[in-house]
Chains A and B, each alone.
Chain A
Amino acid sequence: MLSSPSRGVNVPQIIVENIRKTFTVAERKSGLWGAVRGLVHRKHVEVHALSGISFSLEPGELVGYIGPNGAGKSTTVKILSGILVPDSGDCRVLGRSPWKERVAHVRDIGVVFGQRTQLWWDLPLAESFELLSHIYEVPAASFRSKREELVALLDLGPLLATPVRQLSLGQRMRADLAASLLHSPKILFLDEPTIGLDAVSKQAVRGFIRRLNAEEGVTVILTTHDMGDIEALCQRILLIGHGRILSDGSLAALRERVSLGRRLILDLEDADERVGDPDAVVVKREGGRVELAFDPSRIGAPALISRLTAAHRVRDLMVEDPPIEELIARLYAEEGLQ
């Protein structure tokens, strides 16, 4: 490997520098006459999708890219995958400009959209895989071994002869994951890969992604609204809003940044007993179950527990971090996103 003094061992795999993208949305009038008039005169509305996004990713990272709807998530993914051209700024993925060298670029990436399939609707799964192997020019021998491996890992064996339109959502998602990996990409973009899936399918998909990242070192960029995905998978979270990166760091760092405190949950013997403490706030009450929020820097969990167990008859208790949904909702609120 060529090494220059300015570059360390870990050369970023993806570099995004100050990318901006504005869409001009035209108001369209209906009918043929409206269309003809529209060619001459139109009202335009400018939408700033990205107002200067910068970040970089090392090989083998598993990053959650989150933000509310319309924040610019899919615009970023479309630019990184070579579909869209940014208005300004630069982007390098594996040393290439995605939109200038689209064909070479897409050979090295895989993209899965949770909402749509990339498989051929009327063809049996096995034939979709075969056609993809020809499109990507995967040599026959490596296609066979890769296919076998993916079919085993994603439990697709019984589905290979089924036309894609007859697959359930969970089956289709597993099939789409396999399809996106037949050409052994180095980077995988996943756009809401668990949307609409039942709990078992979600577990299967998450387990597979974790394994792919850990064992094969595939870099994964995951956009999702499912906080379970983030908790289960992401080492690093990029939060985007208003077309900007609002936060970049681990889930733990994000928790520290938003001081929601910790939670103490008590199960009381007496369902109607009143609970109060100067250092804790009741945030939820369901019969005998009381959820209290407290700030660990003001009072430690052992002190609070001994005080409350002395004052009340407690059947059970647990201490936990606030749910990640709350954390994200608070972050969005702080940034004025919703």
Chain B
Amino acid sequence: MGALKLYLRYVSFSVRAQLQYRASFALQSIALFLLTFAEFLALVAIFHRFGSLKDWSLPEVALLYGIISVAFALAEAVPRGFDVFPRYLRSGDFDRILLRPRSAMFQVLGAEFQLMRIGRLSQALLVLAWAVWKLPIHWTPAKAVLLPAAILGGACLFSGLFILSAVVCFWTIESVEIVNCATYGGVESGQYPLSLYRPWFRSFFTFVVPLATINYFPAQVILGRSGGGLEGALMWASPLAGIAFLAFCGALWKVGVRHYGSTGS
């Protein structure tokens, strides 16, 4: 409980620090909103030209887009410290983190809370709301739980990716690009239905970086496209893969911190 209270304090201090630069904050938030909105307009343009993608309609794709974008915006705002982690290693800030009586992961998590991501978040929520409003979904209580669960699973997954890129930094700073490919490439590709892609690509985003489990599969269930039996059950449970992925990356983080202790930066 003490940790949660301290985390909220970190967040409030971080937000206050960012609000010292009010104009910059407002401009960045608006820019991010417009940028992501333009991205969505490109999607709309494709549908305007072709009518549908395979058997997916625009509102259906907007559901995929909304889930993954809300999840990504949350992950960008909350565990932002891992995203900028190379900076901490280079500047020696990580040493200072180790000098404080809290776990290193907790401190990096609390180090930065990016309020300006509210630009992406609000755009993503708008798209998601539009999709839900447009689609003739047969809502059940279970589906109403699955949607936020998918978003939560997605936020965990992206947080895991940010942690993973930070872990890589303990060994080499340059290779972060490889993880970034999965993160940013994942957001982009996850906005479209998985069935559009080649099999190896589908396998990668199902089994290696399980992005499909946090939007494609749950969306299938919500849209009533999933079958029954084992496959259907797995689709219901799929957001758990995001949480498992985060736990896995968290374990790797511990290995990384131990490695840092024996090598320094």
Contacting residues, chain A, for B140 (C-beta < 8 A):
none
Task: Please provide the chain A residues from 20 to 53 with a CB less than 8 Å away from any CB of chain B in the complex.
Answer: 23-24, 26, 28, 30-32, 34-36, 38-39
A120 touches B172 (CB 8 A): no
Task: Answer whether A134 and B262 are a contact pair too, CB < 8 Å, given A35-B172, A116-B92, A123-B17.
Answer: no
Stretch of A78-86, A271-279, A309-317 that contacts chain B: A78-86
Task: Please provide the chain A residues from 120 to 147 with a CB less than 8 Å away from any CB of chain B in the complex.
Answer: 120-123, 127, 131, 134-137
Grouping DSSP codes into helix (H, G, I), strand (E, B) and loop, the B interface class, with mixed when no group exceeds half, is helix
B264 touches A116 (CB 8 A): no
B101 touches A104 (CB 8 A): yes
B101 touches A136 (CB 8 A): yes
**Among candidates A30, A107, A123, residue contacting B101 with C-beta atoms closer than 8 Å:** A107
Number of interface residues of B (CB under 8 A): 29
Stretch of B6-14, B31-39, B122-130, B159-167 that contacts chain A: B6-14
What is the count of residue pairs linking A and B with beta-carbon distances less than 8 angstroms?
85
| Complex CA distance for A116 and B91, rounded to whole angstroms | 9
Q: Interface code B66-99, partner A: CB below 8 Å = 1, 0 otherwise? A: 0000000000000000000000000111011011
Task: Answer whether A35 and B99 are a contact pair too, CB < 8 Å, given A23-B263, A120-B13, A122-B20.
Answer: no
| Complex CA distance for A23 and B96, rounded to whole angstroms | 20
A78 touches B95 (CB 8 A): yes
Contacting residues, chain A, for B101 (C-beta < 8 A):
103-104, 106-107, 135-137
Contacting residues, chain B, for A35 (C-beta < 8 A):
172, 174-175, 177
Task: Answer whether A116 and B96 are a contact pair too, CB < 8 Å, given A38-B174, A39-B172, A103-B103.
Answer: yes
Please name the residue on chain A nearest to B177 by beta carbon.
A32
Please name the residue on chain B nearest to A30 by beta carbon.
B174
Contacting residues, chain B, for A38 (C-beta < 8 A):
172, 174-175
Task: Answer whether A163 and B20 are a contact pair too, CB < 8 Å, given A35-B172, A35-B177.
Answer: yes
For residue A99, CB closer than 8 A to chain B, the reply is yes
| Complex CA distance for A31 and B178, rounded to whole angstroms | 12
| Min distance, Cβ A303 to any Cβ of chain B, angstroms | 56
For residue B136, CB closer than 8 A to chain A, the reply is no
| Complex CA distance for A134 and B5, rounded to whole angstroms | 9
Ranked nearest first, the 4 interchain pairs of A and B with the lowest CB-CB distance are A35-B174, A122-B17, A85-B261, A107-B101
Q: Which residues of B contact A (CB under 8 A)?
A: 2, 5-6, 9-10, 13, 16-18, 20, 91-93, 95-96, 98-103, 172, 174-175, 177, 261-264
Q: Which residues of A contact B (CB under 8 A)?
A: 23-24, 26, 28, 30-32, 34-36, 38-39, 75, 78, 81-85, 87, 99, 102-104, 106-107, 109, 111, 113, 116, 118, 120-123, 127, 131, 134-137, 163
